[in-house]
Structure 1
Amino acid sequence: MAVLTKRLQQMLEPVVEALGYELVLLEFSPSTKSALLRLYIDAPGGISIDDCERVSREVAAQLDVEDPISGGYRLEVSSPGLDRPLVKPMHFQRFVGEQVRVQLLVPRDGRRRYIGWLRHAGCDGVRLQTKDGLVELAYADIERARLVPEYDRE
């Protein structure tokens, strides 16, 4: 499964970038009935429905040619939203000062989830100011991270 997700990322990221967008995150959820392939795209001026349709058409054409997914699947293209995923170091660096929700791959000191203010994002990891103090987390240990929208802040 992870192999196919990586292959899809390598195949579709150049398509999305050639259209002038950033592929923020690719999620693939296989299923016996119909798999789900979801792409989150972004651009400096934001994303409109027309942008999503444009990327969807080009990605669908590429998938038709390459045919990497056996069986049926549903393709969704979306903006990252207010609770945008943070995947690459440059995403974290862009949002220093914002509140984030982080989930680790394995528990650290009995904890997998952290909510805090992103104080620093370097080459290897991030520093969060949580209610319990400053926490340093390596990118390699992060399973997923998202911005906390203002309406959902603690």
Structure 2
Amino acid sequence: MENVVDIVSALAEPIVETHHFELVDVEFVHEGKSWYLRLYIDKPGGITIDECALVSDELSEKLDDIDPDPIPQAYFLEVSSPGAERPLKKEADYERAVDHYVHVSLYQKMNGEKAFEGTLTAVNADELGLKINLKGRMKNLVIPRKNVAKARLAIKF
């Protein structure tokens, strides 16, 4: 049986594409006593509240039409922008992030650290290239992709 994220992604993708938006991520999470179905959408120049509401309304109709209901428990549907620190999930996200400042979290320590921030300089199937500031000196770092737990755009302070 498909899980909720897969079902919702399949329903949302055509809706989002019709409006020339990008489906960045879908998550179905339990927080406190409530369940949340969250969709993150974007487009060049950013997404508006009205555009989020449009996708929310259209997706809600599609979800209501499915029988049996793929989400039997009560939940809150949230559609929003991924924000300035959007996650890098798809290969296209990584490629767009080249020359941008990013935060990369690792599964295991590398050079004594489990997270790095710097400018993404290169991306391929096996590695990420990152230019980091290490104690005032710029250093090029190569991170194996299999060691990357999460990556996102970051704001440089």
Tell me which moved more, 108-117 or 39-48: 108-117
Encode CA deviations 1:39-80: one digit per residue, 9 max, x unaligned.
111112421111011011011112212332121111111112
TM-score, length basis structure 2: 0.81
Change (3 A) 1:63 1:124: farther
Distance 2:8 2:126 in 1: 25
Q: 1:86 aligns with which of 85, 88, 110?
A: 88
CA contact (8 A) 1:34 1:71 kept: no
- Percent of matched pairs sharing the same residue: 38
Q: Which runs of 5+ in 1 are unaligned?
A: none
By how many angstroms is 1:122 displaced? 2.5
- Shift of residue 88, structure 1, vs aligned partner: 1.0
**Shift in CA distance, 118/57, structure 1 to aligned 2, threshold 3 Å:** same
Aligned to 2:58: 58
In the TM superposition, residue 15 of structure 1 has moved relative to its aligned partner by 2.5
In the alignment of these two chains, the number of paired residues is 149
Question: Is this contact kept in 1: 2:101–2:117, CA < 8 A?
Answer: yes
Q: Take 2:89 and 2:74, find their aligned partners in 1: how far apart are those partners? A: 27
Asked if the contact 1:103/1:142 (under 8 Å) is kept, the reply is yes
Aligned to 2:141, which of 135, 138, 145?
135
Give 1:17-96 correspondences, 5 Å limit.
17-30=17-30, 33-66=33-66, 67-96=69-98
Equivalent residues of 1:100, 1:148 under 8 A apart: yes
TM-score, structure 1 length as denominator?
0.82
Contact 1:33 1:72 in 2 (8 A): no
SS state at 2:24 partner: strand
Decide whether the 8 Å contact of 2:11 with 2:59 is kept in 1. no
Computing the radius of gyration from Cα coordinates, the structure with the larger value is 2
Structure 2 portions without partners, runs of 5+: none
Shift in Å at residue 95 of structure 1? 2.0
- Cα RMSD over matched residues? 2.3
Q: Residue 41 and residue 138 in structure 1: after superposition, are their counterparts in 2 closer, same or farther (change >3 A)? A: farther
Q: 1:4-24 CA distances to partner (integer Å, 9 max, x unpaired)?
A: 323332332222222321001
Instruction: Deviation per CA, 1:62-116: give whole Å up to 9, x if none.
Output: 2212332121111111112211221111112112111101112x21335331211
